[in-house]
Structure 1
Amino acid sequence: MQHAHYDMGVVGLGVMGANLGLNIASRGHRVAGYDPDAAKAEAFARRGQTELDGIDGAETAASADIDTFVGGLKTPRVLLLLVPANVVDSALDSLVPHLGEGDIVVDGGNSHYPDSEKRQRRLAEHGLHFIGMGVSGGEEGARHGPSMMPGGDAAAWDRVRPLLEPAAAQADDGSPCIAWIGSGGAGHFVKMVHNGIEYGLMQLIAEAYDVLARGLALAPEAIRSHFVAWGERRLSGYLIEITADILVQRDEDGGHLLERIRDAARQKGTGRWTTEAALALAIPTPTIDAAVTARGLSDFYGLRQNGSATLAGPQPADGQSALMDAGLPRALEGALEAAMLLTYAQGMHLIAAADAEYGYGLHCGTVARIWRGGCIIRAALLEDLSAAYERDAELRNPLFDPALGARIGELQGNLRKAVAAAAGAGIPMPAMSSALAYYDALRSARLPANLIQAQRDYFGSHTYERLDRDGSFHTQWAHAADS
């Protein structure tokens, strides 16, 4: 590794680190890699020799020795960490003694946003800049163009931008799917919400699949035909596309692989973090919350096997008839579009609230724009979302954009049909049901919270407010027996 020769260093050469490092190098940069696992370092260097052959300026090298690695970087050094969230601090412990004032560390892993804020303060004490950057796109996106959400120390952005921007995905209009998100933990906050929305969208798609497979007893090929058709219209997007592929994937013996996968969904915690952040900010995200809960329920596999044998429900034939009478599967397309739009709206409302509370200086329109390509939740619906913020940059909840609100109003009948028919058939739709309830709550001029306030005052003297006069009030409630 040549002395002070490389434009950027990548720490952690697993799947994401190696692929994003090669992606950055392929744009005409010299990238050094570091991993204490010598085999990973050697593999990265070999891939660079093969995959970057003939690209002007592109070069990679790798080392398992931290002194050699750091010594090979141009100053001020730029280091991109792509390591698991639980080892970021130990990686920083190893790196910081080798760095100098003005060097920049970019954490591109799935870190929790409060941790990013702590790390920025910690590195600032050493004269170092810190950027917490969400990266979405999986293995393929990392190699060919992810969506990236950098935030933190803005003073470092001008140095990092020329390295990262060319490696980002491009939206259909050619704009890069990367932008400065804001100060503090903004980058990882937005990535966390991205993942929460991802939980919601995946659960909604799974519920649509369940209605078609279990409720209507359609074969995988028939279900795929619906997803393919939906993907050619307004539901075009990555998750719909891969679902169509998954449905007809064959196992080694020719059977459908999906039908043999254990129905217990795992999670790494970012959906739960989104729910926790929403609760802390008092922002309703019921579809994301329902998706987190649904994954938890799926893991009670043995309990569900017992329940399927002992707990009563409608007869399958009656349920299938109810679903067909409701116009499914046709109505399911509109129901899914409405519920997905409402899920995006919940996430964007949470981001707007976080900006107001934490002073990140982020813009929801920017977030919607950079999610249009490269990331897991990319979809045609994000074009509608981006357009809504172009019309009103201060929009807190995109549901209240006139065009988006009107579109969901047009689709609400399909959403109601799907939820009601699934309930009649005994098929759980927690995410889709929550999306409908969210919509109905927001269009309700009056909710039964007046009763809840009265109850709280009755048993705890918590007081309440009135519609007809200002102030807080407490009542000595009469017991029914005394009336």
Structure 2
Amino acid sequence: MNDIGIWGLGVMGQNLALNFASKGYSISVYNRTEDGEDNIVSDFMDKVDSDYSIEGFTSISEFVSSLKKDKIVLIMVKAGTILDSVIEVIVPLLSKNDIIIDGGNSDYMDTLRRLEYLSEKDIDYIGCGISGGSEGALKGPSMMPGGSFQAWDKISSMFRDISAKDKYGNPCCEWIGKDGAGHFVKTVHNGIEYAVMQIIAEVYDIQKKLLCFDNVTISDNFKNWQTDELKNYLFEITSNLLILKDKDSNYILDSILDKSSQKGTGKNTVIASFDYNIPTPLISEAVNARLISGFYSNRTQLNQFYKMGKISEINKKEVEESLYDGIYLAILFSYLNGLELIRESSLKNNWNIDLGNIIKVWKAGCIIQSDILYFLEDVVLDSNNSESLYLNQKIAKEVNARESSLRKLVVNAILSGTPVSVLSSAVSFIDSLKSLQLPANLIQIQRDFFGYHGYEKINRDGQIYHLDGEV
């Protein structure tokens, strides 16, 4: 009888199976045979190392029967209705206290719905965010489980075994919280990923257009910025991809259409930020930047219609000197945007999420792994969970030391006509956070004038006023 079953042999399912097997676990795998997937299981089994204990099945009942008591089934299929249909098929074959784990990118509210549905059938359910892509699945992913804590007790050892390990050897797999907390944190992880990727793209663009650097020089810069405080996975791959050539010795990057797509997790992060009234401007602008890139045909026409005004002189030396501190601060605030959203949503949903655990999980194995998380770990340890991370003195110190560099970077980019939507939103967000007087008072008096929404007054303890009572 096998330790765990994996339903779905896409690349993630296959590599997770190999990962489990490499750690000494016995695995059952299943994949449907419809829609051209007849040979998925047999093809996978043909390449499995003979030392691994993996059994392949095309019969659902035989697959389930092959598992040990208190069966554990990890489902790796597309989120949404497909997952619901798989659950409906497998539930009749399971017994009390068996465990279903969703390892896809499900919406956290769907996870909560499934958890409640399965609890009525005495089946435990875990929604587990998994980051790291196919390589992470094979060599050690970052894992974010949430849902049934009773189930977590049973699977924690094996999940920690296959997870990535940070530079101190600690597993990047920690219990996140109840309900859909695990999938919510994975969604926010992806939102941060959007922001950091867009920041890197904007800094690449600045170097290419303002400083006229070639691919090799830009690659060297990203490589040299891999210092202890800013070492990260995305810098590493960017440095390599910038100088990757095709068989004709041309840079592949330079031939790629500037039109980026998305699967929706960035958008879902932004929607959640609106739902919980928590600003995440860097993530929001990163999503917008992808949408704007999709206006490719319009952009090619508008390039002819919208004429550039007179370009102010750019201080190239200032730009070059500002790059490192500017990108550091923008990336730091991308993480803070996401962590603040997690902190506030946890308080409002009573998830009891430990931000320290989130940081532990993200330190390795995932797309946003970065040594900046070791700094943020100190910030979290030094903070009260009920208080905003932006108030931490360590964050204030970083802002005071680096904000002028970020501002210089943005100003020069804007003067040159180079779009820097996320970098500029970082500056505006910091300016707003430290502003004693925002113009929201004008908005409130306008709202009361046309909609009778009311407004508060300075030093009046939240009492609501209306224009008709004051004029």
TM-score by length of 1: 0.93
- Give me the whole-angstrom Cα distance separating, in 2, the residues matched to 1:273 and 1:242: 26
Letter in 2 for 1:123: L
Give the distance between the partners of 1:262 and 1:468, measured in 2 at CA.
Answer: 55
Pairing 1:46–2:46 present: yes
User: 2:56 matched to which residue of 1?
Assistant: 62
Query: Where does structure 2 lack aligned partners over 5 or more consecutive residues?
Result: none
Letter in 2 for 1:410: A
Secondary structure of 1:79's partner? strand
Bigger CA drift: 362-371 or 40-49? Answer: 40-49
Q: Does 1:187 align with 2:175?
A: no
Equivalent position to 1:9, from 2, 5, 8: 5
Q: Map 1:294-313 onto structure 2 (within 5 A).
A: 294-313=289-308
Amino acid at match of 2:23: R
Single out whichever of 175-184 and 435-444 deviates more from structure 2.
435-444
* 1:33-85 residue CA offsets vs partner (Å, 9 max, x unmatched): 110134221233233325xx3xxxx4111111111111100011000011111
Paired AA for residue 359 in structure 2? A
Q: Which residue of 1 aligns with 2:100?
A: 105
Question: 5+ residue gaps in structure 1?
Answer: none
- Report the Cα offset of residue 455 of structure 1: 1.1
- Structure 1 residue aligned with 2:156: 161
> Would the alpha carbon gap of residues 218 and 402 (structure 1) be closer, same or farther in structure 2, given more than 3 Å must change?
same
Aligned to 2:21: 25
In the alignment, is residue 177 of structure 1 matched against residue 169 of structure 2? no
1:368 to 355, 359, 366: 359
User: Equivalences for 1:83-482 in 2 at 5 Å?
Assistant: 83-86=77-80, 87-314=82-309, 318=311, 321-325=313-317, 327-392=318-383, 394=385, 396-470=387-461, 471-476=463-468
- Report if the CA contact (8 A) 1:465-1:472 is conserved: yes
**Between 467-476 and 248-257, the greater mean CA deviation after superposition:** 467-476
Relative to structure 1, is the Cα distance of residues 8 and 393 closer, same or farther in structure 2, using a 3 angstrom cutoff? farther
Secondary structure at the counterpart of residue 467 of structure 2? coil
Structure 2 length-normalised TM: 0.96
**Against the structure 1 CA distance between its residues 27 and 350, is the aligned structure 2 distance closer, same or farther, given a 3 Å change threshold?**
same
What letter corresponds to residue 439 of structure 1 in structure 2?
A: I
SS of alignment partner, residue 423 of structure 1: helix
Number of aligned pairs?
A: 465
**1:135 aligned counterpart, secondary structure:** strand
Q: Give the 3-state SS of the residue equivalent to 1:23 in structure 2.
A: helix
| Alpha-carbon distance in structure 2 between the residues aligned to 1:164 and 1:48 | 21
Q: Aligned partners of 2:386, 2:219: CA distance in 1, in Å?
A: 36
Q: How many Å separate the matches in 2 of 1:397 and 1:297?
A: 32
User: Which SS does the other structure have where 2:356 is aligned?
Assistant: helix
Amino acid at match of 1:256: Y
Q: Which is further off, 402-411 or 25-34? A: 402-411
Contact 2:146 2:181 survives alignment (8 Å): yes
Displacement of 1:215 in angstroms is: 2.3
What CA deviation, in whole Å up to 9, does each residue of 1:442-466 have, x standing for no partner?
1112211111111111222211111
Would the aligned equivalents of 1:190 and 1:351 in 2 still touch at CA under 8 Å?
A: yes
Q: Hey, what's the Cα distance between the residues in 2 that align with 1:323 and 1:299?
A: 31
Deviation of 1:396 after TM superposition, in Å, equals 4.2
The one-letter code sitting in structure 1 at the alignment partner of 2:189 is H
CA distance in 2, matches of 1:285, 1:47: 45
- Which range is displaced more, 16-25 or 392-401? 392-401
Q: Secondary structure at the match of 2:319?
A: coil
Code of the aligned partner of 1:254: S
Q: CA deviation at 1:127?
A: 1.3
Shift of the 160–132 alpha-carbon distance from structure 1 to 2, 3 Å rule, reads same
The residue type equivalent to 2:199 in the other structure is: L
For 2:73, what is the secondary structure of its paired residue? strand
Kept in 2: contact 1:342–1:399 (CA 8 A) = no
Query: What is the distance in 1 between the residues matched to 2:443 and 2:429?
Result: 18
Aligned partners of 1:33 and 1:44 also within 8 Å: no
Cα distance, 1:100 vs structure 2: 1.2
Distance (Å, rounded) in 1 between the aligned partners of 2:319 and 2:246 = 29
RMSD: 1.6
Q: Residues 133-156 of structure 1, C-alpha deviation per residue, up to 9 Å, x if partnerless? A: 000001111001110000001111
The 2-side partners of 1:426 and 1:420 are apart by 10
1:4-57: per-residue Cα shift (whole Å, max 9, x none)? x1000001011001101111111111011110134221233233325xx3xxxx
Runs of 4+ in 1 over 6 A off after TM superposition: none
Match of residue 66 from structure 2: 72
Contact 2:174 2:360 in 1 (8 A): no
**Paired AA for residue 79 in structure 1:** V
Return the alpha-carbon distance in structure 2 between the equivalents of residues 468 and 69 of structure 1: 67
The secondary structure found in structure 2 opposite 1:165 is helix
